[in-house]
């Protein structure tokens, strides 16, 4: 549906919820959308990064003479001549902006394979590549720590997450709860390293002006945090830095913090006195811009004979590195998802010589729910209960951690409507009992849940003399539809059709917005946009109310509404006037309103989560162990749905992500070299069309008056949660083989 079709069908006051096409869609399909590396900058030169070939040790010798003498070379930067970079404040554990705390090129120590050891800058990309090749480096290598499972005894507790969430949690008496259980499940579940692989590689262009100010075009999920991190790394005033990113070619979390390549691009540009473009290779994105950490998770479940949970103990060990911390908080979902009086969770890290892990779609919950929801399926089988019934018997009527009511919780409806739409009642619970010819057929399900984060956000709305509007907030659109949804929010608040609204984002000269991550965009930026648009509308209404020549003159502003570009008296709609007429009579080119929110994570103590239920059908070849997902359905509660089309796109995208997690994705680290074995899309398997069936996703809209003024939660990450467990549970139902280590390969089933 086009914007114009949506306007005719829904009107300017009913546009929220309409499945409008993406307002930025034409720019993207015609190639007119400008991504980080594509900005045209006069005099730009090229930088290429050189990565370490060892995983642990020191640099003993660097010879850059041949590189410096090569044609077109403008400069070579190593730890011998790089500026002095301070230790950076981490985004995750220190309330800073940096994805990793220790910058490369600070000394001769090598912490991981692929660590940047030099930057070559030249007139052309080919010359820069050749210069990087000519740099000679000698190392004193040490045996790297590259295996997690063999070193679990070295695990240590991480720093608190986001500056306050502790790595350990307990309520009640879990040991006593396990002792009194009639039925217990105790198992270990494992997930591998996974990589984000967005279509657009990480890239930056850095431009210094004569006055010492810096402009950076970066592929970023948050221009303001990027600016904050650059100011810290370059030790310069934050107001002298501008960061621009109007389009992001996919992120999934990897572009949610400042990475060293952006700092090095700026430092190199300052060194050579020219604008510098730096684009990472696909292989460099496997070593230098984060990944989902490997986890080893132990789950203990205890229940009474009727299925009531008596205890859950969920511990997870993941990767720790010397250049910073990103604890994969896999057990966090266990603390809040089910009504259980006795719960214990713990997160630990094992020191390894790898690049730093980072947030990847559904961080924590995606691997954590694989373990928890697989364990619940095992418990349901032991109890002889339907998996949905087990979950319903442990449904949390209130937040189990705080005892407070939820902001809203439509999980019961997701179970019921999802099961009905999927045809769950046709499932024969006996493993290996369902067939389609020679194929074994299995049904599996799991709960989905993800917190929707609330961050501070600001917006500005300007009504122009012709009645059109421009709305700004420095958020990001990773392909999620933020441009479109914020256009709809502003359209409805202003009473102007969507095609008369332009939403602008991705520039630190715009009003503040934080990282577009943690499913925070709609929840945080949406209310600010609504507030700014309403403020601009009110200003125009005040002009009309105080104007004797206006049909609205003398009426209180509270009595004046807006629709189709006109203000009108609510109880007498015949009295109306266009925005353009009001501004024109007062000789104004524009009227601007501003809005901002200081978003509480849990408003009024109420936890804000998106919920859902995942249902999957698989077919398994009994001779070759080949697994095919033949049907998948997700039913989700995300509060008010602002755009049915973009929300559904996010939901099915999450399910596809989960199919990859369950069956394909696995970054292999060489156990003795500590290097990524296949740092490319030839060796890292992702779902393609042949792997993905027709998917079904829909929304159970539950009113949430607490989350924000729109009643809208986030949808970006809940779609992946529970998918891997649902697939693993379906594989067990089909084959009778319980796979507890991802990905589920044919070898594991044979």
Indicate the pairing of strand 168-171 with strand 343-351.
Answer: antiparallel
Bond into 743 cis (ω within 30): yes
By the 8 A CB rule, do 461 and 494 touch? Answer: yes
For the beta carbon of residue 411, count every other beta carbon within 10 angstroms. Answer: 27
Strand partners, 429: none
Residues, the chain, total?
A: 750
By the 8 A CB rule, do 232 and 96 touch? Answer: yes
Quick check: is 703 catalytic?
no
Which candidate in 378, 717, 741, 747 is catalytic? 717
Residue among 291, 382, 716 at smallest CA distance from 524 = 716
For the beta carbon of residue 300, count every other beta carbon within 10 angstroms. Answer: 20
∠679-478-645 over CA atoms, to 5°?
120
Helix, strand, coil fractions of the chain, as percent rounded to 5: 30, 25, 45
∠438-439-440 over CA atoms, to 5°?
120
For the beta carbon of residue 429, count every other beta carbon within 10 angstroms. Answer: 14
> Which residues are within 8 A (CB) of 309 and not within 5 positions of it... i.e. 6 or more apart?
301, 302, 303, 338, 339, 340, 394
The DSSP result for 629-687, as a single string, is: EEEEEEEEE-BS-SBHHHHHHHHHHHHHHHHHHHHT--PPBPTTT--BS--STTTS---
Strand partners, 343: 171, 312
Residues 221/222/223/228 CA torsion (nearest 10 deg): -130
Q: List the catalytic residues.
A: 717
């Amino acid at each position: 549906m086009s914007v114009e079709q949506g306007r005719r069908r829904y009107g300017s006051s009913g546009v929220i919820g309409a499945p409008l096409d993406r307002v930025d869609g034409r720019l993207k399909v015609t190639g007119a959308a400008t991504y980080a590396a594509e900005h045209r900058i006069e005099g730009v030169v090229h930088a290429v990064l050189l990565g370490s070939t060892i995983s642990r040790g020191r640099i003993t010798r660097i010879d850059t003479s041949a590189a410096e003498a090569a044609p077109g070379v403008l400069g070579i930067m190593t730890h011998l001549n790089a500026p002095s970079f301070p230790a950076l404040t981490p985004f995750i554990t220190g309330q800073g902006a940096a994805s990793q705390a220790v910058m490369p090129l600070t000394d001769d120590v090598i912490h991981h394979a692929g660590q940047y050891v030099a930057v070559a800058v030249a007139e052309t990309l080919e010359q820069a590549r050749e210069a990087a090749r000519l740099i000679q480096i000698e190392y004193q290598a040490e045996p790297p720590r590259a295996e997690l499972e063999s070193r679990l005894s070295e695990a240590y507790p991480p720093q608190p997450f986001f500056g306050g969430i502790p790595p350990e949690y307990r309520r009640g008496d879990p040991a006593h709860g396990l002792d009194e259980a009639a039925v217990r499940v105790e198992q270990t579940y494992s997930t591998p390293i996974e990589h984000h692989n967005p279509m657009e590689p990480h890239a930056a262009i850095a431009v210094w002006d004569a006055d010492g100010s810096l402009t950076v075009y970066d592929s970023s999920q948050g221009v303001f945090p990027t600016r904050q991190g650059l100011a810290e790394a370059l030790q310069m005033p934050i107001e002298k830095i501008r960061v621009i990113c109007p389009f992001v070619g996919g992120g999934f979390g990897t572009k949610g913090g400042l990475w060293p390549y952006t700092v090095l691009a700026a430092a190199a540009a300052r060194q050579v006195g020219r604008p510098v473009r730096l684009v990472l290779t696909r292989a460099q994105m496997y070593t230098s811009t984060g990944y989902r950490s490997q986890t080893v998770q132990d789950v203990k479940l205890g229940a009474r004979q009727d299925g009531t949970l008596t205890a859950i103990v969920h511990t997870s060990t993941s990767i720790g590195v010397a250049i910073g911390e990103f604890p994969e908080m896999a057990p966090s979902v266990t603390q809040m998802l089910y009504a259980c009086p006795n719960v214990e969770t713990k997160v630990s890290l094992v020191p390894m010589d790898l690049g730093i892990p980072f947030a990847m779609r559904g961080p924590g919950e995606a691997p954590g729910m694989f373990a928890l929801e697989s364990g619940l399926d095992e418990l349901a089988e032991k109890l002889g209960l339907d998996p949905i019934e087990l979950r319903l018997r442990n449904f949390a009527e209130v937040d189990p951690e705080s005892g407070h009511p939820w902001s809203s919780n439509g999980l019961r409806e997701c179970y019921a409507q999802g099961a009905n739409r999927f045809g769950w009642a046709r499932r024969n619970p006996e493993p290996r009992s369902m067939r389609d010819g020679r194929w074994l057929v299995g049904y599996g399900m799991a709960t989905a849940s993800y917190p929707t984060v609330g961050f501070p956000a600001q917006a500005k709305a300007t009504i122009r003399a012709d009645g059109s509007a421009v709305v700004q907030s420095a958020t990001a659109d990773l392909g999620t539809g933020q441009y479109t949804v914020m256009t709809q929010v502003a359209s409805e608040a202003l009473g102007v059709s969507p095609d008369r609204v332009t939403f602008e984002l991705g520039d630190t000269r715009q009003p503040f917005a934080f990282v577009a991550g943690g499913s925070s965009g709609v929840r945080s930026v949406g209310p600010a946009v609504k507030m700014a648009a309403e403020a601009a509308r009110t200003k125009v209404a005040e002009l009309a109310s105080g104007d004797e020549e206006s049909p609205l003159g003398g009426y209180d502003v509270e009595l004046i509404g807006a629709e189709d570009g006109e203000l009108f008296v609510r109880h007498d709609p015949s009295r109306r006037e266009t925005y353009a007429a009001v501004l024109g009579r007062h000789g104004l080119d524009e009227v601007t309103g501003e809005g901002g929110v200081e978003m509480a994570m849990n408003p009024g103590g109420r936890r804000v989560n998106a919920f859902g239920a995942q249902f999957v059908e698989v077919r398994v070849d009994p001779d070759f162990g080949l697994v095919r997902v033949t049907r998948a359905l997700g039913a989700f509660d995300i509060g008010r749905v602002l755009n049915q089309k973009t929300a559904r796109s996010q939901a099915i995208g999450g399910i596809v992500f989960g199919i990859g997690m369950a069956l394909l994705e696995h970054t292999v680290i060489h156990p003795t070299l500590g290097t990524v074995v296949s740092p490319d899309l030839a060796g890292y398997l992702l779902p393609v069309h042949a792997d993905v069936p027709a998917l079904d996703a829909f929304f159970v809209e539950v009113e949430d008056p607490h989350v924000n003024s729109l009643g809208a939660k986030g949808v970006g990450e809940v779609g992946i949660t529970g998918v891997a467990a649902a697939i693993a549970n379906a594989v067990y139902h089909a084959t009778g083989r319980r796979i507890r280590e991802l990905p589920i390969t044919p070898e594991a089933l044979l």
